[in-house]
Amino acid sequence: MSSRNLLLLSNSTLHGSGYLEWAAQHIKEFLGSKNVKRVLFVPYALRKMDSYAESAQKKFTSWGFELDSIHKAQDPVAAVNDAEAIFIGGGNTFQLLKLLYDHSLIEPIQKRVLQDGIPYIGSSAGTNVATVSINTTNDMPIVYPPSFSAMALVPFNINPHYIDANPSTKHMGETREERITQYHEIPGSPPVLGLREGSLLHVTGQKVILKGLHPARLFRLGKQPEEFPLDTDLSFLLD
């Protein structure tokens, strides 16, 4: 796993800014450090893939990178095998994972990222599928993938768009923390990192650093939730 290079974003769009703007510098430095010229985009999390890919292409082109969308490739597996870098965007996690299975892309992406070391960027749903499973996604199961097991590019789960409980609200539904705690009633369930809006993980080999705008909240089986500030080394999550 020493060649692993991941940038895992909680979200693509932050309130008051445009698509990927909050993470622009992180993405450009991440890809530039690996001399990436062309990015393979996976738009499977949304149904309107043409317009989704067009938005991603405009943004990456403005940064000086070329971008191809896998949904236009005749052979998606070959496209992954030829990719310099992979970016999987947000949308519905269940739909995204189903199409990754349908196109037999789980193992090819795992190999390219974990063995070949090509850069991987995930945002929201694209971050969910980079983890052990999609059991801690916030999305509705609009389709049914063959399994909830994801690509396990990291050995823990993430809850993108993590929201803290508001003590002044009159809403009596479950909080995000309560739902994750319920997930941890399952024996052997992995840690879950709550990534707030505007936060990301930079994973290089066996090193994990929290970046972005906000601290993260970590949930582990049998332990109280913990808060970790920006720039914290979370490499222990890879153990």
Is there a contact between 6 and 203 (Cβ–Cβ < 8 Å)? yes
Q: Which of 124, 133, 189, 199 is catalytic?
A: 124
Strand 120-123 relative to strand 66-69, pairing: unpaired
Out of 10, 69, 103, 139, the active site residue is 139
Active site (annotated) includes residue 124: yes
For strands 199-204 and 5-9, give the pairing: antiparallel
**Cα separation of 134 and 236, whole Å?**
21
Q: Is 139 designated active site?
A: yes
Of the residues 161, 184, 189, 199, only one is catalytic, namely 161
Task: Tell me the catalytic residues.
Answer: 124, 139, 161
